[in-house]
Amino acid sequence: MCGILAVLGCADWSQAKRARVLSCSRRLKHRGPDWSGLFQCEGNFLAQQRLSVVSPLSGDQPLYNEDRTVVVVANGEIYNHKKIRKQFAAKHTFTTGSDCEVIIPLYEEYGENFVNMLDGVFSFVLYDTRNKTYMAARDAVGVNPLYFGRGSDGSVWIASEMKALHEDCPKFELFPPGSLYSSAAGGFRRWYNPQWFDEHVPATAYQPLVLREAFEKAVIKRLMTDVPFGVLLSGGLDSSLVASVTKRHLIETEAAKKFGTELHSFVVGLEGSPDLKAAREVADYLGTIHHEFHFTVQDGIDAIEEVIYHNETYDVTTIRASTPMFLMARKIKALGVKMVLSGEGSDELLGGYLYFHFAPNKEEFHKETCRKVKALHQYDCLRANKATSAWGLEVRVPFLDKEFIDVAMSMDPEWKLYDADLGRIEKWVLRKAFDDEKEPYLPRHILYRQKEQFSDGVGYNWIDGLKAFTEQQVTDEMMKGAAEEYPYNTPVNKEAYYYRMIFERLYPQESARETVPWGPSIACSTPAAIEWVAQWKASNDPSGRLIASHNDAAPAHAHANGNGNGAVANGKANGNGTANGNANANANGTLVPC
């Protein structure tokens, strides 16, 4: 992952302004430690910090057309770049091996109406010196981060991370996924308009081989690399399938010719955590070179401020899950690995979170998956991208391939519903698609392993340790004044308050706090899904362990909701705080979505 910064339409063209832009761009150097570049044309600046994964020796940015009248800075992977290169071989002279260079001939051929021709994830800014116009775009669901702001002189600032612009823009916001900004048109418009976006319930029948093939293609195209890579492997369904498909098809790729057919896998957890055990089993089955990283609760607590700085959020579940990933990314990068594949996105597309068991009908189920996918850029995409890019490590997420999304979201949601009578657990459609007796992808008990939230899977003591620590850092008196101190998105417990204090110190602007989503949640639900079960409204902990259909529900004194209501037992709401007969709800949770 690279870092980009564009400052456009400045009234000041001075050397001092150029130095300021350079200074702001350097705040993104963790994303791209390999090289940096800056283009200036009058009061327009395009800067990039590069992480070289494709064509390390020839892909430095900014990128230009032949006469240097069109310039681009990009953070992205364009998986169909070779096909586009062939399309324009007779018309355009390519000067680098960068996959992002194809943006230029597409623009010259089609104007601004080319973004949907890119197969990949990206954020980019293009400046045309001939007519002094510019455009910027962000990928379909916001895998790559991007922010948009305006300087006090009316200039437009566009950056990969908030830290590059928050001090120079009185107002800024998230650049919306699936959208482009055009200076010629004077605003934003959506370039990504899939059928599912309007939340109409689809009727396409479930075709397991179609789903399997779409995912395998998504994995294979993400093996486009000129540097060593690996896979993140928690031992859960999603990461295990990513590892299995990668291992199965690696020998067919260009990457295998450069780095061999051995696949490295990585996991992080507290000693004895569920993920460590499950990941080791999958790694042994697949034959990966497996790397197991341990951390302590204190290690995680010590990293919290850095995590908030890099992730630019005060969302509780994002911080909980980001911290182990942040620690692991540093270890991975130290081994010389620059790119990893990961399993984000499957739960949103296929209804994999345990609360989906309680969707009242297929219509509500589908609408919730739509809401979850639309919000990914504020949660799991943000976490995976920023927690790894903090150490110059690129993460690729095949479940969020545009074609795979189309297949998954066009399926009749009746097939995705939890149905114990039919033996369908969460994500049954994915499990069934890869349930191959002749050439198994995974052992059956792994293929049908129940969902763990990442922050739980790394070790249940991690969440409990955070709560205990923040309980000591925030007084009861501070909590009484929370609404006065933080009237916007008021923290509802001490853990949330502690994270908010750090965030406000790092990013004190009103626009900064407005980039963070807020609202009630249960087990990663959206606020709308809280309505499915009346007792959930009283819950004060977002952990998936609250859903008592979880096979290993934790002792309720640590993990049930805050007032004795809302536990769910054996698929039915139970208003007296019991789950599987052993709950005493008195935990101190948080009321935010994950």
Torsion of CA 446, 448, 449, 450, to 10 degrees: 170
Cβ atoms of 392 and 33 closer than 8 Å = yes
Active-site residue, 2 included: yes
Task: Report how far residue 106's alpha carbon sits from residue 129's, in angstroms, rounded to the nearest whole number.
Answer: 17
Gyration radius of the chain's alpha carbons:
23
31: exposed, middle or buried (C-beta count within 10 Å: 0-12, 13-18, 19+)?
buried
The H-or-E segment that residue 319 falls in is helix 316-334
Task: Report how far residue 301's alpha carbon sits from residue 267's, in angstroms, rounded to the nearest whole number.
Answer: 19
Annotated binding residues? 99, 232, 268, 342-343
Q: How far is CA 517 from CA 103, 176, 313, 351, 413, in A?
A: 32, 14, 9, 20, 27
Closest CA to 539 of 480, 581, 583, 476: 583
Annotated binding residues for L-glutamine? 99
Task: Report how far residue 278's alpha carbon sits from residue 3's, in angstroms, rounded to the nearest whole number.
Answer: 35
* Token pair 């007969």: residue: 581
Evaluated on CA atoms 97, 102, 103, 107, the torsion sign reads: positive
User: DSSP characters for 462-507?
Assistant: HHHHHHHHHHHHS-HHHHHTHHHH--SS---SHHHHHHHHHHHHH-
Contacts for 150 with CB less than 8 Å, ≥ 6 apart: 156, 157, 169, 170, 171, 172
List alpha helices for 375-473, DSSP H: 380-389, 402-409, 428-433, 444-447, 454-457, 460-473
Residue 229 falls in which region: left (phi positive, over 0), alpha (psi -120 to 50) or beta: beta
Active-site residue, from 2, 24, 370, 594: 2
| Cross-strand pairs, 134 | 127
Closest CA to 549 of 315, 357, 291, 408: 357
Task: Report how far residue 522's alpha carbon sits from residue 353's, in angstroms, rounded to the nearest whole number.
Answer: 10
The H-or-E segment that residue 373 falls in is helix 362-374
CA angle 312, 392, 118 (to 5 degrees): 85
Task: Report how far residue 78's alpha carbon sits from residue 99's, in angstroms, rounded to the nearest whole number.
Answer: 6
Cβ atoms of 559 and 584 closer than 8 Å = no
Q: How many CA atoms lie within 13 A of 199 on its CB side?
A: 13
Q: How far is CA 491 from CA 51, 518, 530, in A?
A: 36, 10, 19
Residues recognised as catalytic? 2
